[in-house]
Amino acid sequence: MLYDQLIAGLDTVHNTDGISGERLAERFDALSEIGLTEDNGSNRPGFSKEEKAAKELIATWMREAGLDVSEDGAGNIFGRMAGKQDDLPAVVSGSHVDSVPNGGHFDGVLGVLAALEVAQAWKQTGYQPEKPYEVAVFTDEEGARFNGGLLGSEAVAGKGDVQEKLKLIDQDGMTFTEVLADVGLTVDGYTAAERDADEIEMLVEVHIEQGKRLEQQNLPCGIVTGIAGPCWMEFTFTGEAGHAGNTPMTDRKDALAAAGAFAAEVPKLPKTVSDSAVATIGKLDVHPNGVNVIPGSVTLYVDIRDIYAETRDALVDKVLDLAEQTAASHQIKVEHVEKMRVAPVPIDEEKQELLAASFREKNIEPYRLPSGAGHDAMIIGDKWPVAMLFTRSKDGISHNPDEWSDLNDCVQTVHVLKDFLEKVQQ
């Protein structure tokens, strides 16, 4: 059982101010049973009956914490605690409970349970926030159903083209409309899920790091400085296919040789624009792809990210220039197509400083790090201010049954979140 694994190392010194490590472990365990795979992983695709069952279980816990529960037309769940000044915009915290196929038990779930644990602690200690507080469970963050994701938070923020979504078809041949209907939702309801700007003050999302920086620093949690916006570029290098034996080395237009030279140089470019920029070539197609044939064309994809739009776009330009220079030096052609460009979401310094104060309050060194992955906060952050906390991930493993965050790290993150949420009430 996940509970036994989690609780084994719990230091009960962290069970203070109404926060319970045992309760967190029990809830992690209960959610892990929904969509449990043979590899002891999670399989709860967005808009699935498994995701819905997980959200329904969380809704019962919300009610136990004294929250008023509602579901919007996108299937997002909100548990609301009234504020002393209940007409003020709400402070929201939460994440998602859907998963990739055979994923882990912490991705998304931690953010939901952390936000809920704060509400539970407030109820237990008799604390009422000045402003309304909402615990959010966003639908389909991972995008396993339609290879897209973030559909719940897009509905809340009023983002995305619904007409484009109507063209979506999942792996079982079901349309977006049919998938919604399968869990009791409608397209009209999805469109109506948008929240007015004045309803929300900010979102605070807790998430596992999905990297090794906190582990390397030996810290339980950290402050996210921004969420990187990806730009995906498709490049096609075109030379001339030829016989591997009969074509002299001096008379070749080898597309793969050019693409290889390009791929070798791309990783050197990010550090020339910022410390947080990254570039990855993760997919490559060679044609004709024969053992004894000089490659005539190669198509590859470059994933370029940074937490600042200016430096991310500067890196895109550098990659484009490199492609042209490489093609010219190999006397072949190169073409590119921009497949996606999403705006990064930098987190403002004031919120980072307020989080840092909460870290110091809990005797944790404030450590700042960027998020290279996308999250619901990235979508929400285009409309409302956001802040984000990362919890240490063992070996940086994510989207895998071996995904793991120590319960003590999770509980300490909840303490920081609670302190921060109380600070923003002032």
Token code pair at residue 262: 């390009």
Q: Give the chain's largest Cα–Cα span.
A: 83
Q: Which residues, in sequence order, are CB contacts of 20 under 8 Å at separation 6+?
A: 117, 120
Q: How far is CA 210 from CA 3, 39, 215, 369, in A?
A: 21, 20, 11, 12
**Inter-residue contact 96 to 373 (CB < 8 Å):** no
CA distances from 143 to 107, 108, 155, 368 (A): 13, 13, 14, 28
Q: Tell me, what amino acid is at 364?
A: I
414 touches 360 (CB < 8 A): no
The continuous run of DSSP H or E covering 293 comes out as strand 293-294
Q: How many of the other CB atoms lie within 10 Å of CB of 44?
A: 27
- 408's CB contacts (< 8 A; 6+ apart) are 9, 10, 11, 14, 21, 220
Name the one residue in this structure whose structure tokens are 């024969």: 290
> Can you say which residues are annotated as belonging to the binding site?
96, 107, 142, 207, 399
Nearest Cα residue to 72 out of 5, 155, 15: 155
Query: Could you count the other beta carbons within 10 Å of the beta carbon of residue 359?
Result: 23
Number of H helices and E strands in the chain, helices first, is 14, 15
- Residue from 235, 211, 228 nearest 283 by CA: 235
Q: What's at 280, amino acid-wise?
A: T
CB-based contacts of 149, cutoff 8 Å, min separation 6? 46, 140, 141, 142, 143, 374
Q: Which residues are annotated as a binding site for Zn(2+)?
A: 96, 107, 142, 207, 399
Q: Which DSSP letter does residue 344 get?
A: -
CB within 8 Å of 10: residues ≥ 6 apart: 21, 22, 25, 407, 408, 411
Q: What's the CA gap between 385 and 373, in Å, rounded?
A: 18
φ, ψ (nearest 5 deg) of residue 59: -60, -35
Is the N-terminal amide bond of 401 cis, ω within 30° of 0?
no
